[in-house]
Amino acid sequence: MDAIKVVLAGQPNVGKSMLINAITHSNAMHVGNFSGVTVDKTEICFEHYCHQFELVDLPGTYSIRGYSQEEKVARDYLIHENYDVILNVLDSTHLQRNLLLTLELLKLNKKMVLALNMADEAEKEGLKIDVAQIEKIIGVPVILVSANTNMGIDDLLHRVHEVADHPYRDNSNILYSNAFEEEIIKISQFLKERKFRLRDLTYREMAIRILIEDKELYKELHDEPIMIELQPLIIKALHHLYTHHDTKNISEIKANEYLAIARGIRMETVKCQLNKGKKCTTKQIDDIMINKYLGVPIFFGLMWGLFQLTFSLGEVPMGWIESLIAWFSGELNQLITHPAARSLIVDGIVAGVGAVLLFLPNIIILFLGIALLETTGYMSRVSFLLDGFFHKFGLHGKSFIPLVTGFGCSVPAYMAARTLKSEKDRLITLFIIGFMSCGAKLPVYVLFVGTFFPTHDAGTILFLIYISGAILGLVMAKALRVFVFKGEDEPFVMEMPKYRMPSFSLIWHTVSSKAWSYLRKAGTFILAASMVIWYASNYPKSEAIANSYQTKIVQANGNEAVITQLKIDEKREALEYSYLGRIGKVSEPLFAPLGFDWQMTVALETGLAAKEVVVSTLGVLYAVGDSVDEESSALRQVLFEEYKQPEALAFIVFIMIYLPCFAASMVFAKEAGGYKYLLYLFIFTTVTAWILSFVTYRVSLGIFS
């Protein structure tokens, strides 16, 4: 029978020599030198339960990318020689440090088994290691052993034999930092679309090696035509990583990523049951911030404070922007003499785009707060903190990444779900991302909350809206797990960086990019939508309506109160006669049980294009001909006169739940695997939104009546 060739690799002082003695009892051992160098090479041939083994002991090395003679020998053997299995030996008492080499070995795409040596010493130190969880995270068999007491030796050899007999499979569930994962997704997606493969590497593995500047891979890519298209993508990706890591040294970036992953694995799988003295600052902070009892209340408290600031601080610059828009509208009214052109520009473009621009301060404050929480390292703790909570709803901490991204924009959130290897977990996450209110919904919330609730309560109401959406999403995830996508969820690990002061350049990069994206949408898509909505709300014209009201105005004999009311009634009737009014009237019966009239119905329908259009639609519908007072919002004033709190709450609930914007919907269909899933999402979200809005409306009628 053929011998199974096993290579022992590990850092210095992990007990490899003792483990070899425990495995072989010092039998059939040959000590020599590696070819061309005076570095010891230990080879052992032995038989274990009718299985022939050949062990090769490599020199201890901290990294296969090192430069010492021993490290070069280990690197060359691991990369270029033929063998069946890598037996990676780790010191159980220093797991985090040892895992740094493990993460490098995983990149070799070889069959591997982890031996956590010195298990007896770990037990004496009060360390309790969750071996099964490490195995699920890293994706290779992990055995707890002790060369000193012979614990786990037989089990280790059996697992080595099992791994050798089966084909190699990449089962790793390791995630890098958000910025790194974002670039991995972009590059791997590009390679997948081009169907470009090298050797037996997966698209994800190629993307990772490109980002860490793997020299061997770059040599292979050098003569490939795809490199011409790939190069700009690589340059942009590296600049993104430089910004987030505050260095242009890719070796430092790689080291930071590996260290964060290793720390995350250790924190999730190793518990210390003994007091070992003074703790580091990060550990002291973590004892409070991710405390079993205090962690979640602290998180909710921080989020409440953020939304309170979003509303209260945003009110001041909102007033400035509103005054500027009012002044600008007044100037245009005087400059433009043609009635139709004046109406298009003032009542269509300025009213629609201005209604969206008004909420730019709120957007900036919200993204600034989230960026601060992310760059200090706190958001990574929240993922770890909520992992157990997520498991109760059929998810896990890994889903937190796309879900929290959904608070910014659903498009990158859907793309971030690619990191979930389980198809069922990925689909569940995709289906509930829309429940995380994106930044585009914030203007709608601020408009209605600011109109129908006192200012001192507005921040709390805004916080409750976001939290309610998130909780509802988790409930829906549980329902999907129980009734549709049945099965177990995956293990989870992500980076656990040390706490650090936020970088101004990184904060600026994050917030400015979000703000400019919002402004670009206002200046392009929202501008076009506002013009279309203006046209649909002004045409066709009805001479009969105009003549009828003109006659009534003449008959009023100069009574200003009557004339003003007649003009308002004329505008309302003209709107109902328009294309937009007709569309709203047709669909109004579907939404009437929710307390919505045709204007709110039309706003919801245009919101399928983009949620900001909901505000611009209301701005166009209600700002036509209205005077704009610098001391108050004309749109808020009209909404307050037209609706009550029950209608407002039901409208907010519907906005919170129903189908995301057109762009996000297309990305969802692509990521989920087809347009049939988009149809399922439309039915799922629309039915849920209608039912919960109906319940909200009926309950609030009883409360506020």
CATH code assigned at 131: 3.40.50.300
Q: Name residue, tokens 């909710």.
A: 300
Higher pLDDT, 400 or 127: 127
| 672 pLDDT more than 80 | yes
Is position 349 within any domain?
yes
C-alpha closest to that of 209 among 200, 218, 219: 218
Is position 555 within any domain?
no
| 29 pLDDT more than 60 | no
Domain that holds residue 258: 178-274
Same domain for 522 and 417: yes
Same domain for 528 and 400: yes
| 11 pLDDT more than 80 | yes
Which of 259, 274, 289 terminates a domain? The answer is: 274
pLDDT at res. 141: 92
What is the spatial order of strands in the sheet that 85-91 belongs to? 29-33, 40-48, 51-57, 4-10, 85-91, 112-117, 142-144
Same domain for 159 and 97: yes
Same domain for 152 and 46: yes
Is position 548 within any domain?
no
345 pLDDT band, cuts 50/70/90, is confident
46 pLDDT band, cuts 50/70/90, is confident
Which of 274, 309, 332 terminates a domain? The answer is: 274
Is position 571 within any domain?
no
Range in 35-39, 483-487, 682-686 with the lowest mean pLDDT: 35-39
Q: Is the dihedral of CA 553, 556, 561, 565 positive or negative?
A: negative
String of b and e for 129-164 (b: at least 16 CB within 10 Å)?
bebebbbbbbbbbbbbbbbeeebbbeebbebbbebb
On the CB side of 638, CA atoms within 13 Å amount to 19
Same domain for 504 and 419: yes
* In 268-368, beta strands by DSSP E: 270-272
Same domain for 49 and 186: no
Most confident of 24-33, 207-216, 329-338, 358-367: 207-216
Torsion of CA 142, 145, 147, 153, to 10 degrees: -80
Range in 75-84, 91-100, 513-522, 576-585 with the lowest mean pLDDT: 513-522
Is position 286 within any domain?
no
Same domain for 217 and 193: yes
Average pLDDT over residues 523-535: 73
687 pLDDT band, cuts 50/70/90, is very high
Is position 570 within any domain?
no
pLDDT at res. 397: 65
Which of 165, 186, 216 terminates a domain? The answer is: 165
Average pLDDT over residues 363-376: 79
625 pLDDT band, cuts 50/70/90, is very low
Same domain for 157 and 50: yes
28 pLDDT band, cuts 50/70/90, is very low
Burial of 22 (C-beta count, 10 Å sphere; 0-12/13-18/19+): buried
pLDDT at res. 66: 65
Most confident of 159-173, 334-348, 528-542: 159-173
Same domain for 536 and 416: yes
Joined together, the tokens standing for residue 42 give 């230990």
Same domain for 519 and 652: yes
Same domain for 490 and 534: yes
Is position 284 within any domain?
no
| Mean pLDDT over the full length of the chain | 80
Is position 567 within any domain?
no
As a whole number of angstroms, the distance between CA 173 and CA 398 comes to: 9
581-588 long-range contacts (CB < 8 A, ≥24 apart) are 581/537, 583/536
| 630 pLDDT more than 60 | no
Residues 181-202: pLDDT tens digits?
A: 888 988 988 998 888 888 778 8
Q: Quote the number of domains for the chain.
A: 3
How many Å is the maximal CA-CA distance in the chain? 118
Same domain for 209 and 325: no
